[in-house]
Amino acid sequence: MFKETNARSLFKGISWRILATTTTIILVYMFFNRLDLAIIAGIIETILKVALYWGHERVWHKIRWGKKRIEPFNLWFTGLPLSGKTTIADAVFKELNKLQIPIERLDSKDIRDVVPDIGFSRKDRNIHMKRIGHLIKTLQNNSISTVASFVSPYRESRKTIREMVKNNIVVYIKANIETCKKRDRKGKYEKATKGEYQNFTGVNDIYEEPQHAEITIDTDKLSVDEATKIIVKYVKKNYVK
Ligand SMILES: Nc1ncnc2c1ncn2[C@@H]1O[C@H](COP(=O)(O)OS(=O)(=O)O)[C@@H](OP(=O)(O)O)[C@H]1O
Ligand SMILES: Nc1ncnc2c1ncn2[C@@H]1O[C@H](COP(=O)(O)OP(=O)(O)O)[C@@H](O)[C@H]1O
């Protein structure tokens, strides 16, 4: 969100006056064929109208009527590890940023870094979701939209998010588990299979598929670009008109 500063209003006034006053001087000269009259008219007009323009701007700045508060939304990406949540959410965020709306990106890897004392048990994940819900709610109170990507495997925690935040758009990033394993360059699935990770979603913990997702992206069929276009189109149609 931007605030029009006094200086900006003043400079806009001056640039407009140069344009408008030149027009006045030319017109007065054309009608009266007198350069002295044309210049005097131009000077008086400049002084008077710069002041009036500045005042007019500042008065309108204070009037709330006709100003619409930007309605924040939350894009909630859920899916198996390595399904493509981060990749697609990053691309969507990049596109939405171009719309000049206040927007923040929240990804599991960044959030877990700042709240490291949370594990992957059902109880811990549910606590984690509540904290994230609270964070999104706080951002929304300041008109800031969010692009959030978390495995969020349980229906109850996604329900918590939906109840806590406004305009929640669940984006289910769907991928076959074999596809996820193929995309897993860090070998997380392999480690989980060997028992190095407990409660790893898709291996030794469940993923409850969303039943009411606003958008479902099948990454076995759609490219990152195609997925991004679908999601951005949905947001533009429903929230950024
Ligand atoms: N049990 C276990 N042990 C170690 N690491 C694990 C475990 N479960 C998940 N992961 C990895 O952590 C990422 C999931 O974190 P999230 O915060 O998105 O999970 S949750 O939403 O709280 O359920 C997720 O990363 P992404 O690949 O970005 O999805 C997993 O790779
Ligand atoms: N259609 C697709 N959609 C999303 N990611 C894809 C797709 N095809 C291949 N990938 C790759 O799969 C990997 C997914 O990793 P990432 O986005 O970190 O997943 P997640 O955040 O769900 O763990 C990335 O390397 C990405 O380039």
Q: What is the CATH number of the domain that holds 179?
A: 3.40.50.300
In a domain, 34, yes or no: yes
Residues 13-59: pLDDT tens digits? 788 889 999 999 999 999 999 999 999 999 999 889 889 988 999 99
Range of the domain at 125: 74-238
Nearest alpha-carbon partner for 183 in 150, 218, 153, 219: 219
User: Does 139 share its domain with 35?
Assistant: no
Let me know if 157 is a catalytic residue.
no
pLDDT band at 200 (very low <50, low <70, confident <90, very high): very high
Residues 83-94: pLDDT tens digits? 999 999 999 999
User: Does 216 share its domain with 176?
Assistant: yes
User: Does 52 share its domain with 79?
Assistant: no
Q: How far is CA 59 from CA 4, 102, 196, 223, 239, in A?
A: 12, 25, 65, 50, 29
For atom 10 of ligand 2, which residue has the closest CA?
A: 84
- Catalytic entry in 145, 149, 152, 157: 152
Query: Which runs of E-coded beta strand occur in the chain?
Result: 74-78, 103-107, 145-149, 168-174, 215-218
CA angle (66, 71, 75) in 5-degree steps: 160
Q: Is the pLDDT of residue 136 over 70?
A: yes
Residue pair 140/166 in contact (Cβ under 8 Å)? The answer is yes
In a domain, 67, yes or no: no
User: Does 37 share its domain with 79?
Assistant: no
CA angle (164, 114, 149) in 5-degree steps: 50
Indicate the range of 49-58, 164-173, 193-202 predicted with least confidence: 49-58
User: Does 34 share its domain with 143?
Assistant: no
Mean predicted confidence (pLDDT) in 169-195: 97
pTM: 0.84
For atom 28 of ligand 1, which residue has the closest CA?
A: 81
Helix (H, G, I), strand (E, B) or coil at 199: coil
Q: Is the pLDDT of residue 167 over 70?
A: yes
User: Does 145 share its domain with 30?
Assistant: no
Residue pair 158/183 in contact (Cβ under 8 Å)? The answer is no
Residues with CB under 6 A from ligand 2: 79, 81-88, 149, 183, 219, 222-224, 227
Q: How far is CA 209 from CA 5, 88, 172, 241, in A?
A: 49, 18, 8, 31
User: Rounded to 10 degrees, what is the CA torsion of 227, 231, 233, 238?
Assistant: 160
CA of 151 to the centre of ligand 1 (A): 6
Percent of the chain with pLDDT over 90: 83
ipTM comes to 0.95
In a domain, 174, yes or no: yes
Q: Is the pLDDT of residue 1 over 70?
A: no
The phi and psi torsions of 154 (rounded to 5 degrees) equal -105, 140
